[in-house]
Amino acid sequence: DAKTTQPNSMESNEEEPVHLPCNHSTISGTDYIHWYRQLPSQGPEYVIHGLTSNVNNRMASLAIAEDRKSSTLILHRATLRDAAVYYCILRDEGGGTYKYIFGTGTRLKVLA
């Protein structure tokens, strides 16, 4: 079972920042926090990942709480192309297995 909890859906206006929350209260020390998104009719696409420190890349930023029990994916300026289902996934990278366990994700709707 997925070890994360996300809101089912969120809405954002175009060109505004979006903060997508994720709760993972049972996170272990070897769990990395990964975010993927799935655009309509496509496979999931990597967005960002982190362990303890906040992370930035060209797509988004990841803010991780100090106790690591929650995290937030930040899209700095949402565009219509960002409308997708966003998945927050914990992956245990201490045990040699690299599978992803997907939850239901957050469906992001971007309004023009």
Count other Cβ atoms within 10 Å, centred on residue 71. 24
* Stretch 47-86: interaction string toward other proteins, x if CB under 8 A: --x-------------------------------------
Q: Can you tell me which of 16, 28, 46, 56 binds other proteins, judged by CB under 8 A? A: 46
Name the residue nearer to other proteins (CB basis): 30 or 79.
30
* Contact criterion met (CB below 8 Å) for 24 and 88: yes
- Candidates 37, 32, 13, 52; CA nearest to 87 is 37
Residues touching other proteins: how many (CB under 8 A)? 19
Name the residue nearer to other proteins (CB basis): 83 or 105.
105
Q: Shortest distance, CB of residue 111 to other proteins, whole angstroms?
A: 25
List the interface residues with other proteins, window 80-109 (CB under 8 A).
93, 96-104
64 burial type by CB count under 10 A (0-12 exposed, 13-18 middle, 19+ buried): buried
Please state, in angstroms and as integers, the Cα–Cα distance from residue 36 to each residue in 67, 70, 92, following that order. 22, 16, 16
Q: Shortest distance, CB of residue 107 to other proteins, whole angstroms?
A: 13
Count other Cβ atoms within 10 Å, centred on residue 110. 20
Residues that bind other proteins (CB under 8 A): 2, 34, 41-46, 49, 93, 96-104
